[in-house]
Chain A
Amino acid sequence: MLKGKQSWVFQNRPVIAATGVSGGPFEANGRLAEDFDILHDDLWMGQDSYEKAHRVLIEEACQSALKKENILKEDIHFFIAGDLINQITPTSLSARTNQIPYFGIFGACSTSMEGLALSSFIINNKGAKYILTGASSHYASVEKQFRYPTEYGGQKPPTAQWTITGAGVAIIKENSGSQNLPVTTSATIGKVVDMGLTDPFNMGGAMAPAAADTITAHFKDMQVDPSYYDLIVTGDLGKIGHSTTYELLTNAGLRIDKGKFQDCGLMIFKEDQPVNAGGSGAGCSSTVLYGHLLNQMKQGAYKRILVVATGALLSPLTFQQNETIPCIAHAVSIEMNN
């Protein structure tokens, strides 16, 4: 149901039934390693290319979610997912493997919440009983496409971020009542915001206005106060983007407790890992939400959270042609059922 200008309310409270999260070696050494279902100790994952390894990550995450929910892939109605590689081929090839009717989506690093919002909307309106949704990224294949070869010795500035190797997927289903599981209650779809930034090594700074725009729109549409949530978490803004967004929100008159405003890109790695401004990538928000944050919710740490995944919608081509970086953010509100 539409509420306000750009938000949906899911009155039937679709359930996030089960999740599957896979990750790579850097994540295995990170702070949230325990929240991953599958961890690989090298980037190749037994494949002969990084793109194939990327596909394996998605397939494993899907299998893990299906196994936990104890459901066959034939019973899933739709698969809504995406990644960062050209024409989202890793996701499409994994959809070839799982043979579930498939929507391939691209929202750069906001893909996770784009997928969750769409899935929740479809489930809420009885368009399906089970939907598998998620997003993923692979460090080496993303670097290859957007930046320099992995082994190239280019010095990264302190504003650069580290692409996460990981896939996070979730099974969304109809709410049958009693179970105490996380449910999605509303979503706000962002518009493209471009503040004229051009530095691809400072994505956080470019994405911050999009995050602030969507968060402000969410509270306006839903007519609630930020204190409604126990945690507002952004996708992959990193150090610069996160503090910039906080200032933008404060300037816009939204008072958020600093401890309740976090960023997935700042949660996933340890302080001593050489990731500069933090983690990024489509797999960042999906692995942290579907792994760590939902686990925390089930343990009772949070009752209501707002997840705001941000994406920079640039390509190497637009950058070389001197286009500025267009950015977007989507927000989904997740609450415990009881």
Chain B
Amino acid sequence: MGKDKKNLTPEQQKYQVLQQKHEIKRPIIKNCIRAFWVGGLICTVGQAITYFYIYFFNFTEQTAGNPTVATMVFLSMLLTGFGIYDHLAQFGGAGTAVPVTGFGNAVISAAIEHRTEGFVLGVGGNMFKLAGSVILFGVFSAFVVALIKTILIQWGVL
């Protein structure tokens, strides 16, 4: 709200001040505490899965990351499909959005949502509606960071 306060007329500004009084604020501290616990819990599950792969399969601490992420995304997809993840997210907020499970949820929820429009234009076309920008900007930032690293190595800084 009030992105460009300068463009508002005095009447609009006056109203927004009045409206602010009635607006119920987001409980930021409560949300942070919940996000901490929910996010932490998801990461603990992830850590347990990592250990599982290390102890029962032929993975090391370095290589167990990939199967762990895949398992977490798979679990998140199941929870989304059964309609549980969105309730968990309303409670946990950023705690469910930041871990990789949030990414899985963004993809699968869009796929479910647009299933009625068919597989090609519906599921295929909309699956990355929310997650697409994560992929795009994620890959782009990785590219920029790699570029900086390469330049620094060339200069002999690293």
Residues of A at the B interface (CB closer than 8 Å) are 48-51, 144, 148-159, 194-199, 202, 205, 208-209, 239-240, 243-244, 247-248, 274, 277, 322
Is the Cβ of A153 less than 8 Å from the Cβ of B24?
Answer: no
Known: A148-B130, A149-B109, A247-B18. A239 touches B83 (CB 8 A): no
Main secondary structure of the interface of A (DSSP, over half): loop
Is the Cβ of B18 less than 8 Å from the Cβ of A151?
Answer: no
Complex Cα spacing A274 to B88, Å: 13
B55 adjacent to chain A (CB < 8 Å):
no
Q: Nearest Cβ distance between residue B104 and chain A, in whole angstroms?
A: 10
Q: For A247, give its contact among B13, B22, B31 (CB under 8 Å).
A: B22
B89 adjacent to chain A (CB < 8 Å):
yes
8 Å CB interface, B95-129 against A: 96-97, 102, 105-106, 108-110, 112-114, 116, 129
Is the Cβ of A152 less than 8 Å from the Cβ of B116?
Answer: no
Is the Cβ of A153 less than 8 Å from the Cβ of B27?
Answer: no
Please give, as numbers and ranges, the residues of chain B lying within 8 Å of A239 by CB-CB distance: 24
Q: For B31, give its contact among A50, A155, A277 (CB under 8 Å).
A: A155
Report which residue of A148, A149, A239, A244 has the largest number of chain B beta carbons within 10 angstroms of its beta carbon: A149
Please give, as numbers and ranges, the residues of chain B lying within 8 Å of A274 by CB-CB distance: 90
Is the Cβ of B24 less than 8 Å from the Cβ of A156?
Answer: no
Q: For B86, give its contact among A150, A157, A199 (CB under 8 Å).
A: A150
Known: A153-B97, A155-B90, A274-B90. A196 touches B8 (CB 8 A): yes
Residues of B at the A interface (CB closer than 8 Å) are 1-3, 7-9, 11-13, 15-16, 18-19, 21-27, 31, 80-81, 83, 85-86, 88-90, 92-94, 96-97, 102, 105-106, 108-110, 112-114, 116, 129-130
Known: A48-B116, A155-B93, A197-B1. A208 touches B109 (CB 8 A): no
> Who on chain B is nearest to A51 by CB?
B116
Q: For A50, give its contact among B23, B96, B109, B116 (CB under 8 Å).
A: B116
CB-defined A-B contacts under 8 Å, sample of 23: A144-B113, A148-B109, A149-B112, A149-B130, A151-B85, A151-B109, A152-B113, A153-B85, A153-B96, A155-B89, A155-B97, A194-B12, A195-B11, A196-B2, A196-B8, A196-B12, A196-B13, A205-B19, A208-B19, A240-B24, A247-B18, A247-B21, A248-B18
Please give, as numbers and ranges, the residues of chain A lying within 8 Å of B129 by CB-CB distance: 149
Q: Nearest Cβ distance between residue A53 and chain B, in whole angstroms?
A: 10
Q: Nearest Cβ distance between residue A188 and chain B, in whole angstroms?
A: 21
Please give, as numbers and ranges, the residues of chain B lying within 8 Å of A209 by CB-CB distance: 15
Please give, as numbers and ranges, the residues of chain A lying within 8 Å of B88 by CB-CB distance: 153
Is the Cβ of B116 less than 8 Å from the Cβ of A158?
Answer: no
> Who on chain A is nearest to B104 by CB?
A153
Q: Nearest Cβ distance between residue B28 and chain A, in whole angstroms?
A: 11
Complex Cα spacing A239 to B18, Å: 15
Report which residue of B23, B102, B108 has the largest number of chain A beta carbons within 10 angstroms of its beta carbon: B23
Is the Cβ of A150 less than 8 Å from the Cβ of B93?
Answer: no
Q: Nearest Cβ distance between residue A173 and chain B, in whole angstroms?
A: 38
Complex Cα spacing A51 to B117, Å: 11
Is the Cβ of A152 less than 8 Å from the Cβ of B86?
Answer: yes
Is the Cβ of B25 less than 8 Å from the Cβ of A151?
Answer: no
Q: Nearest Cβ distance between residue A190 and chain B, in whole angstroms?
A: 16
Please give, as numbers and ranges, the residues of chain A lying within 8 Å of B109 by CB-CB distance: 148-153
Q: Nearest Cβ distance between residue B19 and chain A, in whole angstroms?
A: 5
Is the Cβ of A152 less than 8 Å from the Cβ of B105?
Answer: yes
Complex Cα spacing A157 to B94, Å: 12
Complex Cα spacing A248 to B17, Å: 12
Complex Cα spacing A195 to B9, Å: 9
Complex Cα spacing A148 to B106, Å: 9
Sample of 20 further A-B pairs with CB below 8 A, known A156-B90, A195-B15: A149-B112, A149-B114, A150-B109, A152-B89, A153-B80, A153-B90, A153-B96, A153-B102, A154-B97, A155-B31, A155-B94, A194-B12, A196-B8, A196-B13, A197-B1, A202-B23, A244-B18, A247-B21, A248-B18, A277-B24
Complex Cα spacing A44 to B111, Å: 17
Is the Cβ of A158 less than 8 Å from the Cβ of B25?
Answer: yes
